[in-house]
Protein backbone atom coordinates (compact mmCIF):
# COMPACT_ATOMS: atom_id res chain seq x y z
CA UNK A 1 0.00 0.00 0.00
CA UNK A 2 2.78 2.35 1.03
CA UNK A 3 4.79 1.30 -2.02
CA UNK A 4 1.79 1.63 -4.32
CA UNK A 5 0.86 5.21 -3.43
CA UNK A 6 4.56 6.01 -3.46
CA UNK A 7 4.81 4.93 -7.11
CA UNK A 8 1.77 7.04 -8.04
CA UNK A 9 3.27 10.10 -6.37
CA UNK A 10 6.63 9.47 -8.05
CA UNK A 11 4.91 9.44 -11.44
CA UNK A 12 3.04 12.66 -10.61
CA UNK A 13 6.18 14.42 -9.37
CA UNK A 14 8.18 13.37 -12.42
CA UNK A 15 5.36 14.37 -14.78
CA UNK A 16 4.99 17.77 -13.16
CA UNK A 17 8.74 18.46 -13.38
CA UNK A 18 8.91 17.32 -17.01
CA UNK A 19 5.78 19.27 -18.03
CA UNK A 20 7.18 22.43 -16.39
CA UNK A 21 10.40 21.95 -18.32
CA UNK A 22 9.28 20.74 -21.72
CA UNK A 23 5.51 20.94 -22.00
CA UNK A 24 3.09 18.08 -22.45
CA UNK A 25 3.06 17.10 -26.12
CA UNK A 26 6.75 16.26 -26.27
CA UNK A 27 6.49 13.80 -23.38
CA UNK A 28 5.96 10.07 -23.59
CA UNK A 29 4.71 7.71 -20.90
CA UNK A 30 7.97 5.71 -21.07
CA UNK A 31 10.02 8.83 -20.39
CA UNK A 32 7.85 9.85 -17.44
CA UNK A 33 8.17 6.36 -15.91
CA UNK A 34 11.92 6.35 -16.43
CA UNK A 35 12.27 9.72 -14.69
CA UNK A 36 9.99 8.48 -11.89
CA UNK A 37 11.99 5.26 -11.54
CA UNK A 38 8.89 3.07 -11.83
CA UNK A 39 8.19 0.28 -14.34
CA UNK A 40 6.13 1.41 -17.33
CA UNK A 41 3.51 -1.21 -16.54
CA UNK A 42 2.56 0.52 -13.32
CA UNK A 43 1.62 3.74 -15.16
CA UNK A 44 -1.66 2.33 -16.46
CA UNK A 45 -2.43 0.89 -13.04
CA UNK A 46 -2.73 4.44 -11.73
CA UNK A 47 -3.70 6.46 -14.82
CA UNK A 48 -6.04 5.63 -17.65
CA UNK A 49 -4.10 7.71 -20.15
CA UNK A 50 -1.54 10.45 -20.50
CA UNK A 51 -4.47 12.92 -20.56
CA UNK A 52 -5.79 11.66 -17.23
CA UNK A 53 -2.27 12.07 -15.80
CA UNK A 54 -2.23 15.66 -17.12
CA UNK A 55 -5.56 16.39 -15.41
CA UNK A 56 -4.24 14.99 -12.12
CA UNK A 57 -1.05 17.05 -12.40
CA UNK A 58 -3.20 20.15 -13.00
CA UNK A 59 -5.41 19.33 -10.01
CA UNK A 60 -2.46 18.77 -7.67
CA UNK A 61 -0.71 21.92 -8.84
CA UNK A 62 -3.86 23.98 -8.47
CA UNK A 63 -4.67 22.55 -5.02
CA UNK A 64 -1.26 23.73 -3.79
CA UNK A 65 -1.52 27.11 -5.50
CA UNK A 66 -5.09 27.66 -4.33
CA UNK A 67 -4.01 27.11 -0.73
CA UNK A 68 -1.21 29.64 -1.14
CA UNK A 69 -3.47 32.18 -2.90
CA UNK A 70 -6.21 31.74 -0.29
CA UNK A 71 -3.70 32.34 2.51
CA UNK A 72 -2.53 35.55 0.88
CA UNK A 73 -5.80 36.93 -0.49
CA UNK A 74 -8.14 36.30 2.46
CA UNK A 75 -5.76 37.60 5.12
CA UNK A 76 -8.11 40.28 6.43
CA UNK A 77 -5.42 41.66 8.78
CA UNK A 78 -3.77 43.04 5.61
CA UNK A 79 -5.44 45.80 3.54
CA UNK A 80 -6.76 44.40 0.23
CA UNK A 81 -4.34 46.14 -2.15
CA UNK A 82 -1.39 45.01 -0.01
CA UNK A 83 -2.59 41.45 -0.41
CA UNK A 84 -2.46 41.73 -4.19
CA UNK A 85 1.02 43.17 -3.91
CA UNK A 86 2.11 40.20 -1.80
CA UNK A 87 0.62 37.86 -4.41
CA UNK A 88 2.85 39.41 -7.07
CA UNK A 89 5.90 39.31 -4.78
CA UNK A 90 5.28 35.65 -4.01
CA UNK A 91 4.84 34.90 -7.73
CA UNK A 92 8.16 36.59 -8.49
CA UNK A 93 9.87 34.73 -5.62
CA UNK A 94 8.49 31.38 -6.80
CA UNK A 95 9.62 31.98 -10.40
CA UNK A 96 13.06 33.04 -9.14
CA UNK A 97 13.34 29.89 -7.00
CA UNK A 98 12.40 27.78 -10.02
CA UNK A 99 15.00 29.55 -12.14
CA UNK A 100 17.72 28.97 -9.53
CA UNK A 101 16.65 25.35 -9.33
CA UNK A 102 16.60 24.41 -13.02
CA UNK A 103 18.32 27.29 -14.82
CA UNK A 104 15.29 28.71 -16.60
CA UNK A 105 12.10 30.52 -15.60
CA UNK A 106 9.43 27.87 -16.11
CA UNK A 107 6.48 30.27 -16.13
CA UNK A 108 2.91 29.41 -15.16
CA UNK A 109 1.95 25.79 -15.77
CA UNK A 110 -1.68 26.82 -16.35
CA UNK A 111 -0.72 29.46 -18.90
CA UNK A 112 1.76 27.13 -20.59
CA UNK A 113 -0.80 24.36 -20.94
CA UNK A 114 -3.55 26.79 -22.00
CA UNK A 115 -1.54 27.76 -25.04
CA UNK A 116 -0.18 24.29 -25.72
CA UNK A 117 -3.20 22.11 -25.11
CA UNK A 118 -6.47 24.00 -24.91
CA UNK A 119 -7.24 23.47 -28.59
CA UNK A 120 -6.33 19.77 -28.40
CA UNK A 121 -8.27 18.28 -25.53
CA UNK A 122 -11.60 19.57 -24.27
CA UNK A 123 -11.13 17.95 -20.84
CA UNK A 124 -7.93 19.92 -20.26
CA UNK A 125 -9.49 23.11 -21.67
CA UNK A 126 -12.43 22.80 -19.27
CA UNK A 127 -10.18 22.15 -16.28
CA UNK A 128 -7.96 25.13 -17.13
CA UNK A 129 -11.03 27.35 -17.55
CA UNK A 130 -12.21 26.31 -14.07
CA UNK A 131 -8.79 27.09 -12.59
CA UNK A 132 -8.60 30.55 -14.17
CA UNK A 133 -12.25 31.24 -13.25
CA UNK A 134 -11.34 30.45 -9.63
CA UNK A 135 -8.26 32.69 -9.77
CA UNK A 136 -10.32 35.57 -11.17
CA UNK A 137 -12.99 35.05 -8.47
CA UNK A 138 -10.35 35.20 -5.72
CA UNK A 139 -8.82 38.39 -7.12
CA UNK A 140 -12.29 39.88 -7.71
CA UNK A 141 -13.21 39.49 -4.00
CA UNK A 142 -10.11 41.49 -3.05
CA UNK A 143 -10.79 44.15 -5.69
CA UNK A 144 -14.39 44.50 -4.45
CA UNK A 145 -13.08 44.99 -0.92
CA UNK A 146 -10.65 47.68 -2.11
CA UNK A 147 -13.44 49.38 -4.06
CA UNK A 148 -15.76 49.32 -1.03
CA UNK A 149 -13.02 50.97 1.04
CA UNK A 150 -12.68 53.67 -1.61
CA UNK A 151 -9.20 52.47 -2.56
CA UNK A 152 -9.94 51.36 -6.13
CA UNK A 153 -11.91 53.36 -8.69
CA UNK A 154 -13.04 50.52 -10.98
CA UNK A 155 -16.73 49.76 -11.30
CA UNK A 156 -16.71 46.38 -13.07
CA UNK A 157 -14.72 44.40 -10.51
CA UNK A 158 -15.01 41.11 -12.41
CA UNK A 159 -13.59 42.59 -15.60
CA UNK A 160 -10.88 44.34 -13.59
CA UNK A 161 -9.90 41.10 -11.86
CA UNK A 162 -9.70 39.30 -15.18
CA UNK A 163 -7.45 42.02 -16.54
CA UNK A 164 -5.16 41.76 -13.50
CA UNK A 165 -4.85 37.98 -14.04
CA UNK A 166 -4.32 38.52 -17.80
CA UNK A 167 -1.55 41.01 -17.03
CA UNK A 168 -0.01 38.45 -14.66
CA UNK A 169 -0.07 35.76 -17.38
CA UNK A 170 1.35 38.13 -20.00
CA UNK A 171 4.22 39.27 -17.78
CA UNK A 172 4.99 35.71 -16.68
CA UNK A 173 5.12 34.77 -20.39
CA UNK A 174 7.77 37.47 -20.87
CA UNK A 175 9.62 36.36 -17.71
CA UNK A 176 9.82 32.88 -19.22
CA UNK A 177 10.75 34.03 -22.73
CA UNK A 178 13.47 36.40 -21.52
CA UNK A 179 14.42 34.07 -18.64
CA UNK A 180 14.23 37.05 -16.29
CA UNK A 181 12.03 37.50 -13.24
CA UNK A 182 12.90 41.21 -13.10
CA UNK A 183 10.07 41.70 -15.63
CA UNK A 184 7.57 40.84 -12.88
CA UNK A 185 8.34 44.05 -10.97
CA UNK A 186 5.81 45.92 -13.10
CA UNK A 187 2.90 43.75 -11.91
CA UNK A 188 2.19 45.93 -8.89
CA UNK A 189 2.14 49.38 -10.57
CA UNK A 190 0.20 47.89 -13.50
CA UNK A 191 -2.34 46.37 -11.12
CA UNK A 192 -2.85 49.78 -9.50
CA UNK A 193 -3.35 51.33 -12.96
CA UNK A 194 -5.85 48.65 -14.01
CA UNK A 195 -7.82 49.10 -10.76
CA UNK A 196 -7.71 52.92 -10.92
CA UNK A 197 -6.03 52.79 -7.51
CA UNK A 198 -3.15 54.59 -5.85
CA UNK A 199 -0.28 52.94 -4.03
CA UNK A 200 -1.40 52.58 -0.39
CA UNK A 201 0.66 54.49 2.17
CA UNK A 202 3.88 52.82 3.19
CA UNK A 203 4.33 50.95 -0.10
CA UNK A 204 6.75 52.03 -2.75
CA UNK A 205 6.01 51.44 -6.42
CA UNK A 206 9.09 50.06 -8.15
CA UNK A 207 9.99 51.99 -11.27
CA UNK B 1 12.23 26.13 -60.46
CA UNK B 2 8.58 27.17 -60.26
CA UNK B 3 7.67 23.75 -58.91
CA UNK B 4 10.53 23.81 -56.43
CA UNK B 5 9.63 27.05 -54.70
CA UNK B 6 6.01 25.95 -54.81
CA UNK B 7 6.86 22.87 -52.74
CA UNK B 8 8.78 24.96 -50.23
CA UNK B 9 5.83 27.34 -49.83
CA UNK B 10 3.42 24.42 -49.49
CA UNK B 11 5.53 23.02 -46.64
CA UNK B 12 5.61 26.44 -44.96
CA UNK B 13 1.86 26.96 -45.32
CA UNK B 14 1.07 23.50 -43.99
CA UNK B 15 3.51 23.92 -41.09
CA UNK B 16 2.05 27.29 -40.14
CA UNK B 17 -1.51 25.94 -40.15
CA UNK B 18 -0.55 22.86 -38.14
CA UNK B 19 1.52 24.84 -35.62
CA UNK B 20 -1.38 27.28 -35.12
CA UNK B 21 -3.69 24.34 -34.50
CA UNK B 22 -1.58 21.94 -32.47
CA UNK B 23 1.68 23.54 -31.50
CA UNK B 24 5.16 22.51 -32.54
CA UNK B 25 6.24 19.59 -30.36
CA UNK B 26 3.39 17.34 -31.39
CA UNK B 27 4.21 17.68 -35.09
CA UNK B 28 6.39 15.37 -37.16
CA UNK B 29 8.04 16.08 -40.47
CA UNK B 30 6.09 13.25 -42.14
CA UNK B 31 2.78 14.80 -41.05
CA UNK B 32 3.76 18.24 -42.30
CA UNK B 33 4.75 16.81 -45.70
CA UNK B 34 1.54 14.81 -45.91
CA UNK B 35 -0.54 17.94 -45.22
CA UNK B 36 1.52 19.88 -47.75
CA UNK B 37 1.13 17.15 -50.35
CA UNK B 38 4.86 16.91 -50.99
CA UNK B 39 7.13 13.87 -50.69
CA UNK B 40 8.97 13.64 -47.36
CA UNK B 41 12.31 13.56 -49.15
CA UNK B 42 11.84 17.12 -50.37
CA UNK B 43 11.57 18.47 -46.81
CA UNK B 44 15.29 18.18 -46.16
CA UNK B 45 16.01 19.71 -49.54
CA UNK B 46 14.48 22.97 -48.27
CA UNK B 47 14.99 22.79 -44.50
CA UNK B 48 17.92 21.53 -42.47
CA UNK B 49 15.72 20.46 -39.58
CA UNK B 50 12.31 20.87 -38.01
CA UNK B 51 13.79 23.71 -35.95
CA UNK B 52 14.94 25.56 -39.05
CA UNK B 53 11.44 25.17 -40.47
CA UNK B 54 10.02 26.63 -37.22
CA UNK B 55 12.35 29.64 -37.51
CA UNK B 56 11.26 30.21 -41.12
CA UNK B 57 7.58 29.97 -40.15
CA UNK B 58 8.20 32.53 -37.38
CA UNK B 59 10.01 34.84 -39.81
CA UNK B 60 7.25 34.66 -42.43
CA UNK B 61 4.51 35.18 -39.86
CA UNK B 62 6.34 38.13 -38.32
CA UNK B 63 7.11 39.70 -41.71
CA UNK B 64 3.37 39.77 -42.47
CA UNK B 65 2.39 40.97 -39.00
CA UNK B 66 5.12 43.62 -38.94
CA UNK B 67 3.81 45.05 -42.21
CA UNK B 68 0.29 45.20 -40.78
CA UNK B 69 1.45 46.71 -37.47
CA UNK B 70 3.64 49.27 -39.28
CA UNK B 71 0.70 50.31 -41.44
CA UNK B 72 -1.48 50.83 -38.38
CA UNK B 73 1.00 52.30 -35.94
CA UNK B 74 2.88 54.76 -38.17
CA UNK B 75 -0.23 56.22 -39.78
CA UNK B 76 0.44 59.81 -38.71
CA UNK B 77 -2.93 60.97 -40.08
CA UNK B 78 -4.49 59.17 -37.10
CA UNK B 79 -3.88 60.37 -33.50
CA UNK B 80 -1.55 57.98 -31.63
CA UNK B 81 -4.05 56.52 -29.15
CA UNK B 82 -6.51 55.85 -31.98
CA UNK B 83 -3.80 53.84 -33.72
CA UNK B 84 -3.41 51.61 -30.69
CA UNK B 85 -7.16 51.17 -30.58
CA UNK B 86 -7.17 50.10 -34.22
CA UNK B 87 -4.39 47.61 -33.46
CA UNK B 88 -6.61 45.97 -30.83
CA UNK B 89 -9.63 46.00 -33.16
CA UNK B 90 -7.59 44.40 -35.93
CA UNK B 91 -6.27 41.77 -33.50
CA UNK B 92 -9.81 40.91 -32.43
CA UNK B 93 -10.97 40.77 -36.06
CA UNK B 94 -8.06 38.48 -37.01
CA UNK B 95 -8.74 36.11 -34.11
CA UNK B 96 -12.44 36.05 -34.99
CA UNK B 97 -11.66 35.26 -38.63
CA UNK B 98 -9.40 32.41 -37.49
CA UNK B 99 -12.13 31.08 -35.23
CA UNK B 100 -14.69 31.17 -38.04
CA UNK B 101 -12.18 29.41 -40.26
CA UNK B 102 -11.11 26.51 -38.04
CA UNK B 103 -13.60 26.48 -35.15
CA UNK B 104 -11.26 27.62 -32.42
CA UNK B 105 -9.41 30.79 -31.51
CA UNK B 106 -5.80 29.96 -32.31
CA UNK B 107 -4.26 32.79 -30.30
CA UNK B 108 -0.92 34.43 -30.98
CA UNK B 109 1.64 32.15 -32.62
CA UNK B 110 4.48 34.03 -30.93
CA UNK B 111 2.91 33.71 -27.47
CA UNK B 112 2.04 30.06 -28.09
CA UNK B 113 5.58 29.19 -29.13
CA UNK B 114 7.11 31.30 -26.33
CA UNK B 115 5.41 29.14 -23.75
CA UNK B 116 5.84 25.89 -25.62
CA UNK B 117 9.38 26.19 -26.95
CA UNK B 118 11.41 28.98 -25.36
CA UNK B 119 12.95 26.66 -22.77
CA UNK B 120 13.73 24.02 -25.38
CA UNK B 121 15.62 25.71 -28.19
CA UNK B 122 17.75 28.80 -27.76
CA UNK B 123 17.50 29.70 -31.45
CA UNK B 124 13.71 29.93 -31.21
CA UNK B 125 13.90 31.77 -27.88
CA UNK B 126 16.23 34.37 -29.41
CA UNK B 127 14.01 34.84 -32.47
CA UNK B 128 10.89 35.26 -30.35
CA UNK B 129 12.68 37.77 -28.11
CA UNK B 130 13.62 39.78 -31.20
CA UNK B 131 10.01 39.72 -32.40
CA UNK B 132 8.57 40.87 -29.06
CA UNK B 133 11.33 43.50 -28.71
CA UNK B 134 10.27 44.85 -32.11
CA UNK B 135 6.59 44.84 -31.13
CA UNK B 136 7.38 46.73 -27.92
CA UNK B 137 9.51 49.26 -29.84
CA UNK B 138 6.67 49.90 -32.27
CA UNK B 139 4.14 50.42 -29.47
CA UNK B 140 6.66 52.53 -27.53
CA UNK B 141 7.01 55.00 -30.42
CA UNK B 142 3.24 55.53 -30.40
CA UNK B 143 3.12 55.88 -26.62
CA UNK B 144 5.93 58.45 -26.73
CA UNK B 145 3.97 60.41 -29.34
CA UNK B 146 0.84 60.32 -27.15
CA UNK B 147 2.87 61.42 -24.13
CA UNK B 148 4.44 64.31 -26.06
CA UNK B 149 0.94 65.45 -27.06
CA UNK B 150 -0.09 65.36 -23.40
CA UNK B 151 -2.48 62.48 -24.04
CA UNK B 152 -0.74 59.85 -21.91
CA UNK B 153 0.56 60.39 -18.37
CA UNK B 154 3.17 57.64 -18.22
CA UNK B 155 6.83 58.58 -17.82
CA UNK B 156 8.58 55.29 -18.62
CA UNK B 157 7.27 54.75 -22.14
CA UNK B 158 9.29 51.56 -22.71
CA UNK B 159 7.94 49.89 -19.59
CA UNK B 160 4.42 51.08 -20.48
CA UNK B 161 4.71 49.66 -24.00
CA UNK B 162 5.87 46.32 -22.63
CA UNK B 163 2.91 46.23 -20.29
CA UNK B 164 0.50 46.97 -23.15
CA UNK B 165 1.97 44.06 -25.15
CA UNK B 166 1.90 41.82 -22.04
CA UNK B 167 -1.78 42.67 -21.53
CA UNK B 168 -2.38 41.83 -25.19
CA UNK B 169 -0.70 38.44 -24.81
CA UNK B 170 -2.55 37.68 -21.57
CA UNK B 171 -5.96 38.56 -23.01
CA UNK B 172 -5.26 36.60 -26.23
CA UNK B 173 -4.33 33.63 -24.01
CA UNK B 174 -7.78 33.88 -22.40
CA UNK B 175 -9.45 34.34 -25.80
CA UNK B 176 -7.85 31.06 -26.86
CA UNK B 177 -8.57 29.19 -23.64
CA UNK B 178 -12.23 30.28 -23.54
CA UNK B 179 -12.50 30.18 -27.34
CA UNK B 180 -14.05 33.64 -27.23
CA UNK B 181 -12.83 36.81 -28.90
CA UNK B 182 -15.24 38.91 -26.81
CA UNK B 183 -12.54 38.86 -24.13
CA UNK B 184 -10.43 41.14 -26.32
CA UNK B 185 -12.84 44.06 -25.89
CA UNK B 186 -11.07 45.04 -22.68
CA UNK B 187 -7.75 45.67 -24.45
CA UNK B 188 -8.59 49.27 -25.25
CA UNK B 189 -9.78 50.48 -21.81
CA UNK B 190 -6.92 48.54 -20.19
CA UNK B 191 -4.41 50.16 -22.53
CA UNK B 192 -5.73 53.59 -21.54
CA UNK B 193 -5.39 52.65 -17.86
CA UNK B 194 -1.84 51.36 -18.32
CA UNK B 195 -0.85 54.55 -20.17
CA UNK B 196 -2.59 56.86 -17.69
CA UNK B 197 -4.60 58.16 -20.64
CA UNK B 198 -8.19 59.13 -21.25
CA UNK B 199 -10.32 57.94 -24.13
CA UNK B 200 -9.78 60.46 -26.95
CA UNK B 201 -12.87 62.40 -28.04
CA UNK B 202 -15.13 60.57 -30.40
CA UNK B 203 -14.17 57.10 -29.15
CA UNK B 204 -16.35 55.09 -26.85
CA UNK B 205 -14.81 52.74 -24.30
CA UNK B 206 -16.62 49.41 -24.39
CA UNK B 207 -17.72 48.32 -20.94
B41: CATH: 1.10.10.60
Which residues on A lie below 8 Å from B120 (Cβ)? Answer: 22-23, 26
In-domain check, residue A68: yes
In-domain check, residue B37: yes
Q: Are residues B28 and B57 in the same domain?
A: no
A23 phi and psi angles, rounded to 5 deg = 80, -175
Cβ pair B167:A165 closer than 8 A: no
Whether residue B163 lies within 8 A of chain A, CB to CB, comes out as: yes
Q: Which of A168, A173, A207 sits opposite B114 (nearest CB)?
A: A173
In-domain check, residue B75: yes
Q: Are residues A27 and A60 in the same domain?
A: no
Q: Are residues B36 and B59 in the same domain?
A: no
Q: What is the pLDDT of residue B3?
A: 55
What whole-number distance in Å separates Cα of residue A92 and Cα of residue A145? 24
Q: Are residues B125 and B64 in the same domain?
A: yes
In-domain check, residue B199: no
Give the domain range for residue B36.
1-47
In-domain check, residue A204: no
* Residue of B126, B94, B120 whose CA lies nearest to B107: B94
Q: Are residues A1 and A73 in the same domain?
A: no
Cβ pair A26:B25 closer than 8 A: yes
In-domain check, residue B121: yes
Cβ pair B166:A176 closer than 8 A: no
Whether residue A95 lies within 8 A of chain B, CB to CB, comes out as: no
Give chain A's domain count. Answer: 2
Question: Chain B: nearest CA to A10, how far in angstroms?
Answer: 23
Residues A21-51: pLDDT tens digits? 888 888 899 999 999 999 988 999 999 999 9
Q: Are residues A128 and A168 in the same domain?
A: yes
Interface residue of B125, B133, B177 to substitute, partner A, most A CBs within 10 Å: B177
Q: Is the pLDDT of residue A75 over 60?
A: yes
Q: Are residues B37 and B123 in the same domain?
A: no
Q: Is the pLDDT of residue A206 over 60?
A: no
DSSP state, A198?
A: -
Q: Are residues A42 and A55 in the same domain?
A: no
Cβ pair A119:B104 closer than 8 A: yes
Q: What is the pLDDT of residue B184?
A: 96
Q: Which of B115, B178, B194 sits opposite A116 (nearest CB)?
A: B115
What is the DSSP annotation of A41-55?
HHHHHH-SSHHHHHH
Burial class from Cβ neighbours inside 10 Å (0-12, 13-18, 19+) for residue A4 reads exposed
Q: Which of A120, A170, A176 sits opposite B118 (nearest CB)?
A: A176
Whether residue A173 lies within 8 A of chain B, CB to CB, comes out as: yes
CA angle (A46 as vertex; A43, A48 as ends), nearest 5: 80
In-domain check, residue A185: yes
Whether residue B126 lies within 8 A of chain A, CB to CB, comes out as: no
Q: Are residues B26 and B65 in the same domain?
A: no
Question: In CATH, what number is assigned to the domain containing residue B72?
Answer: 1.10.357.10
Q: Are residues A37 and A58 in the same domain?
A: no
Whether residue A57 lies within 8 A of chain B, CB to CB, comes out as: no
* Residue of B58, B115, B161 whose CA lies nearest to A176: B115
Instruction: Return the residue of B nearest to A115 by Cα.
Output: B112
The tens-digit pLDDT sequence of chain B (207 residues) is: 445 569 999 999 999 999 988 888 888 999 999 999 999 889 999 999 999 999 999 999 999 999 999 999 999 999 999 999 999 999 999 999 999 998 899 899 999 999 888 778 899 999 999 999 999 999 999 999 999 999 999 999 999 999 999 999 999 999 999 999 998 999 999 999 999 998 776 655 544
Q: What is the pLDDT of residue A2?
A: 47
> Under a CB-based contact definition with an 8 Å cutoff, are residues A152 and A63 in contact?
no
In-domain check, residue B207: no
Q: Are residues B37 and B61 in the same domain?
A: no
Cβ pair B178:A22 closer than 8 A: no
Question: Chain A: nearest CA to B195, how far in angstroms?
Answer: 8
Q: Are residues A88 and A12 in the same domain?
A: no
Amino acid sequence: MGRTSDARQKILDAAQALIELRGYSALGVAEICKAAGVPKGSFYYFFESKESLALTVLDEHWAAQRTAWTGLLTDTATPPLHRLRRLFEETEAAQLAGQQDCGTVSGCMFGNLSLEMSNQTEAVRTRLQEIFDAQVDMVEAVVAEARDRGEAGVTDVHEAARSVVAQLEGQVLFAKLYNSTGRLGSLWPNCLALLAARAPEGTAVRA
